[in-house]
A = this chain, B = another copy of it.
Amino acid sequence: MSAIDEGAHLRAADRPNPVGFLDGRDLLERDLLRLWQGRDGNLLDRISHYALVPAGKMLRPLLVLESARCVGGRPEGLARPALALEYLHVSTLVHDDIIDEDDMRRGRPSVQAAFGLASAIVAGDGLLLETFAALTDAPPEDVPAEAVVALVNTTAEAGLSVCRGQLMETELVGDLDCGVERYLAMAGLKTGALFEASCRAGAILGGAPREWIDALGGFGSRLGVAFQIRDDLLAFDGPLALIGKPQESDLHNHRPTLPILLAYQRASAADRERLERAFHEDQPVEKSYAVVSEVLEATGARAAAGEVAAGLIRQAKDRLAALPAGESVLALAEIADYAARRRF
């Protein structure tokens, strides 16, 4: 799977009407702009600014805010720690683009294409460090120091999971037979862990008891994996020309994604061979794409992968039952529904 790139989808010409929670996103983007305004005095801040703005969907900070609200936390002063989770996410995008040699990100040159390899490595490090600076610089006054310590630990451990997932992904490269279970474990680390941490972070900031923190964590981890599967599916959601460069990356880099793994499991011997050739041989990506799309359709693997995502979303929403009913629980459910069906 390629690193999830939300901004490009947001600006897609065929974008449907924005769903409700995107209003919250716009407020967060305003906070982001305010916090980074004038921070252009040195090269590190300029590159970080470039990487962060224009922002993507900012799902992770949105999850922080809605999770805090739904356990009764006051939203004042939460934008800064919420955005810290976005910094961590963007840090992984900056470094992923080096690893994948992706020159485009969110419709413009990626950091390493714009500033070079050395600066991109350092800027990714800077955004990781910015995460922990933002979590501890001026925590909201009504959040006890013990909660801030827990917040830092949760975030650092989630970041470590992302790293483990990234390395596990490199171990799966080229392996069409690695199996659904290993893919799900990898997606759980690479994408699920940060969604989970975002929800846990919000719950911690909101002063939630352990039970609610865990319920929101369980919601987030399943949501994250479902989100990743939808991202895998989006790569085959239309003509290649429309989908654009970033989505070619998985195929180009021989990374097995869930739809491809399911297709491989279900395919006839002849189709398995075609998949293997498309996946392993250095043929033009257009040709591989056409073959893979065809086998996905023939095997029903697209629908099957969609069903796995939908199942995870149902499980995620079940976790919300442990929480007090209210507007924010509805907002979280709405984000989950969006993740299950999103086309952008």
Interface residues of A (CB under 8 A from B): 42-44, 47, 91-92, 95, 98-99, 117-119, 121-126, 128-133, 135-137, 139, 144-146, 148-150, 152-153, 155-157, 159-160, 163-164, 166-168, 170-171
Contacts and interface: CB of A to CB of B under 8 A. Distances in A.
A144 B149 CA distance: 10
A122 B95 contact: yes
A136 B119 contact: no
A306 B332 CA distance: 61
Q: Which of A148, A166, A167: most chain B Cβ within 10 A?
A: A167
A121 B122 CA distance: 10
Contacts of A157: 129, 133
B152 A136 contact: yes
Contact of A125 (B125, B139, B144, B171): B125
B122 A137 contact: no
> Copies per complex?
2
A287 to B, nearest CB: 26
Contact of A163 (B125, B144, B152, B155): B125
A136 B156 CA distance: 9
A135 B150 CA distance: 11
Nearest to A43: B167
A146 B149 CA distance: 9
A39 to B, nearest CB: 11
Contacts of A95: 121-122, 125
A170 B132 contact: no
Contacts of A144: 145
A166 B129 CA distance: 14
A99 B166 CA distance: 20
Contacts of A122: 95, 99, 163, 166-167
A170 B42 CA distance: 13
Contact of A128 (B43, B129, B150): B129
A8 to B, nearest CB: 23
Nearest to A151: B136
Contacts of A136: 149-150, 152-153, 156
A136 B152 CA distance: 7
Contacts of A163: 44, 122-123, 125-126, 129
Contacts of A130: 156, 160
Contacts of A126: 160, 163-164
**Would you list the 4 A-B pairs with minimal beta carbon distance, nearest first?**
A145-B145, A132-B156, A136-B153, A129-B159
5 contacts: A124-B125, A125-B163, A132-B153, A132-B155, A133-B156
A171 B46 CA distance: 14
A308 B70 CA distance: 58
Contacts of A149: 136, 139, 145, 148-149, 152
A211 to B, nearest CB: 22
Nearest to A124: B125
A257 to B, nearest CB: 18
Q: Which of A47, A122, A166: most chain B Cβ within 10 A?
A: A122
